[in-house]
Structure 1
């Protein structure tokens, strides 16, 4: 089977969950599944493609990132990618993000992956000018089949866009961290025990709720820092919120780095906390489990579907519930050991090889 992935995500995302998924899926299909796979992105910025050693997987060249480069590369790739698609003559074109137009040649079946319905469920968190909802709806309507990364995402897709359930399938993600170079030492990571939060802190991610729970606990403030990895430096609103809630500003810190630095923070954290009110899937808890870090997380949307019984769960809208769950994981050695063991067992459910094989089964079904 000839399978093409389009340019969309690779032309504007250097690192990130969506491009990692598309890259891991493509390499799995080409490798373990033995399919003829081509990522057709004439101009790409993506680091996963740049660091790939898979011969012949990518058609394109890496280009630099600069202000508004994603928008420019998207327009150029839409033109330059078309001849490559026609030459490759794919049976399946897997679109890597949402667009009103397809790159698929006539006769190719189109598959689209929907990662979440956050824009539809939380429209107040996004600008009216954000085109994601419109482009997603157009791409879903156009696709021959839609893959959802969780049952929660599929339910929301059917609810918000009225997609026939038979046009959808659920394929869970795998997870991978790719540490490069030397690992940071304990001193580089933190000089105090800490709780770890990873990623974007806006809106539905409920970072404010986590700070509120942390600030309400004399035990947590006395014994642990709250370290936030990635997501950019704290803005003025976040700094003010920390101060107003009574948390010591020196104990709530933001840090950044590549996968090797993140891996070190996971390994050394007392607990990983995931307070989100909604997720299409949620890879960070699996990443934490893979490094032996116990997880405390929300009990809503797709998160229980991902973590199973391998996490201490809480109601993300209830400060006392969140605080109590974090305190249990941070203070109870027996519970920590239990969660670490369950986390290792939970990882067996998720792999990129399994994701690739289940996706290939869908391709074969719709191409028949």
Structure 2
């Protein structure tokens, strides 16, 4: 079996969830196929830092480019010309496209697989620019593919319903997660216990609802700070809202690498995930892996991921969110039980399982 992953995500993403997924997939698959096949990443020029340190077990056909203004545009333009030439020389059995494109990456003799991560663009168009063409390009890519992998059952149901894709053309393969590290950077002990939020905050991520829930509960404000990790500094509108709610001294934005994030998970009183929609949702698993109790939305794929190992709430209701936080934080027994259930839950998700299930799909597509 000859498998090739195309250049798309690796020429546009230095770090990130999708490129991490394909890096782990390629690395694991190379070990599975061994001498009975080959695994390559066809990206003549790339910016991705995972690939720059890739093991020799799979072939990265390309050159890592240093950061400069316009480097991503250069990589995409160059790869559009060079990648098809290299792809024809490789003569792969399977081409797994790493993102959505209106043009095929695979030669006519190859089978094409694509992964759909979520249907956020279709369900929350107001969160994106009118110039964003993701919906149209995704539809073309899905129609062209021989098989579609979805990262959750909920995403598959949305895909089938919204794009009228035959269910037999789809499979579900859950992601693994990669944050767990034995190295945790020393971070100063917090002055006050805190609630932890991780990631981007705009639109469907529903961070403003969390701010309102936090601010409306005097007991929460008296006993806990709220830390938003990652996602960049607070915007002007976020700062105005935080000031309007009277919680300027209690709401903070922090940043850093995986080691710093791991420390925040380990020290947090609870991890809060108020998102209105996720195609999968890795942060709750990361929190669980560090023994942090999880309080999260009861929508989209999130219940599929967390199972019974989290306290869930209605993300459209400020009261439901606030009550869930108070209920957990006022009960040491509830916190301990969520820690226990979370540590057991994360064992069900691994990159090795993701690799095995994807390899089985490739075999079915070729049969």
- TM-score bin (small chain): over 0.9
| Residue 32 of structure 1, CA deviation | 4.1
Give the corresponding residue for 1:311.
Answer: 310
Q: What does residue 191 of structure 1 align with?
A: 191
Q: CA deviation at 1:147?
A: 0.5
TM-score, normalised to structure 2's length?
Answer: 0.96
Partner Cα distance (2:199, 2:285) in 1: 14
**What is the CA distance between 1:243 and its match in structure 2?**
1.6
Report runs of 4+ in structure 1 exceeding 4 Å deviation: none
Structure 2 equivalent of residue 13 of structure 1: 13
Deviation sequence 1:277-308 (CA, Å, 0-9, x none): 00000010001111111100000110000000
User: Is 2:69 aligned against 1:70?
Assistant: no
Q: Deviations over 1:154-192 (max 9, x none)?
A: 111111111111111111111111659x633241x6432
| 1:71 CA displacement | 2.8
Q: 1:66 and 1:202 mapped to 2: Cα distance?
A: 28
Aligned position for 1:275: 274
> Does the residue aligned with 1:231 lie in a helix, a strand or coil?
coil
Do the aligned residues in 1 keep the contact of 2:27 with 2:58 (CA within 8 Å)?
A: no
Cross-structure match for 2:299? 300
How far apart are residue 67 of structure 1 and its match?
3.9
Bigger shift: residues 66-75 or 317-326: 66-75
Question: Would you say 1:25 and 2:28 are equivalent positions?
Answer: no
Distance of 1:259 and 1:33 partners within structure 2: 31
Secondary structure at 1:9 match in 2: coil
- Asked if the contact 2:180–2:286 (Cα under 8 Å) also holds between the matched residues in 1, the reply is no
Q: Which residue of 1 aligns with 2:335?
A: 336
What is the aligned partner in structure 2 of residue 289 from structure 1?
288
Unaligned runs of 5+ in 2: none
Distance in 2 between residues matched to 1:66 and 1:196, nearest whole Å: 34
Q: What are the within-5 Å matches in structure 2 for residues 188-267 of structure 1?
A: 190-246=190-246, 248-267=247-266
- Measure how far apart 1:195 and its partner are: 0.9
Per-residue CA deviation, residues 26-56 of structure 1 (Å, 9 max, x unaligned), is 1111124535211111111112112333444
Task: Tell me how many residue pairs correspond in the alignment.
Answer: 365
Q: Summarize the Cα distance change of 1:241–1:172 in structure 2 as closer, same or farther, 3 Å threshold.
A: same
CA RMSD across the alignment: 1.5
User: After superposition, where does 1:96-107 map in structure 2 within 5 Å?
Assistant: 96-107=98-109
How far residue 245 of structure 1 moved from its aligned partner, in angstroms, is 2.3
Change (3 A) 1:307 1:324: same
Q: Helix, strand or coil: the match of 1:191?
A: coil
Deviation at 1:64, TM superposition (A): 2.2
In 2, Cα distance between equivalents of 1:87 and 1:66: 30
The answer to whether the Cα contact below 8 Å between 2:179 and 2:286 also exists between their aligned partners in 1 is yes
TM-score of the pair, normalised by structure 1: 0.96
Give the unaligned 5+ runs of structure 1.
none
Q: How far does the alpha carbon of each residue in 1:215-267 deviate from its partner, in whole angstroms, 9 at most, with x for none?
A: 11111111111111111111100111112223x21211111111111111111
Q: Distance in 2 between matches of 1:179 and 1:238?
A: 32
| Most deviating of 301-310 and 73-82 | 73-82
CA distance in 2, matches of 1:286, 1:54: 30
- Could you say what secondary structure the match of 1:107 adopts? coil
Q: Distance in 1 between matches of 2:124 and 2:66?
A: 33
Aligned to 1:324: 323
Deviation at 1:69, TM superposition (A): 2.8
Q: Which of 85, 88, 91 is matched with 2:90 structurally?
A: 88
Question: For residues 354 and 312 of structure 1, what CA distance do their matches in structure 2 show?
Answer: 26
Deviations along 1:85-116, whole A, 9 cap, x unmatched?
A: 12221110000000101221121100000000
Give yes or no for the alignment of 1:42 onto 2:41: no
The aligned counterpart of 1:359 is: 358
**CA–CA distance in structure 2, aligned partners of residues 214 and 167 of structure 1:** 44
Conserved 8 A contact 2:177-2:351: yes
Q: Provide the residue aligned with 1:121 in structure 2.
A: 123
| Aligned match of 1:138 | 140
